[in-house]
């Protein structure tokens, strides 16, 4: 078993987008072989890059505009969002406070940011 408090995990600036940090809570570096669990913070006026991969998102605080391939939705605390595999998507903070959301990513890889910094070599 592995237990971690999100506040004890380093927040990394996301390489693209604007005003976004990510905390890698669960990943292959600690033994999670199939799924990463990540905590994102999007500052006022910030946005994630336009990406294409499957996402399951759960909003903890703030308001986010989620843009998909042919639909947009404003979501807030308690909302869950599924974005299908390869659907283009982007999340933008449209609220009056930083927004936070949890999301999963199916991968057995150690996050590239952690590998580059030599923090995890894998399990």
pLDDT in tens, 98-118: 999 999 988 877 777 777 666
Q: How far apart are the first and last CA of the chain?
A: 14
Contact 113, 14 (CB under 8 A): no
Least confident of 40-44, 64-68, 74-78, 108-112: 108-112
pLDDT score of 123: 44
Which domains are present in the chain? 6-99 (2.60.120.10)
pLDDT score of 119: 64
pLDDT confidence band for 58 (50 / 70 / 90): very high
Paired with 103 in beta bridges are: 38, 57
- Mean pLDDT of all residues in 80-100: 95
- Mean pLDDT of all residues in 94-98: 98
pLDDT in tens, 24-35: 999 988 889 898
Count H helices, E strands: the chain? Answer: 1, 10
- Model's pTM, two decimal places? 0.89
pLDDT score of 122: 47
- Residue 110: which of 28, 2, 13, 9 has the closest Cα? 28
pLDDT confidence band for 120 (50 / 70 / 90): low
Instruction: Return the sign of the alpha-carbon dihedral for residues 63, 70, 49, 56.
Output: positive
Is 8 in a helix, a strand, or coil?
helix
pLDDT confidence band for 64 (50 / 70 / 90): very high
């Amino acid at each position: 078993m592995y237990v971690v408090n999100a506040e004890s995990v380093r927040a990394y600036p996301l390489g693209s987008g604007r005003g976004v940090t990510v905390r890698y809570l669960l990943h292959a570096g600690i033994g999670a072989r199939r799924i990463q669990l990540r905590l994102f913070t999007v500052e006022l006026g910030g946005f994630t890059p336009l990406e294409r991969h499957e996402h399951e998102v759960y909003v903890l605080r703030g308001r986010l505009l989620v843009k998909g391939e042919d639909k947009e939705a404003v979501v807030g605390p308690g909302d869950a969002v599924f974005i299908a595999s390869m659907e283009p998507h982007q999340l933008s903070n449209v609220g009056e406070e930083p927004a936070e959301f949890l999301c999963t990513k199916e991968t057995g890889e150690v996050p590239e940011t952690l590998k580059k910094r030599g923090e995890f070599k894998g399990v």
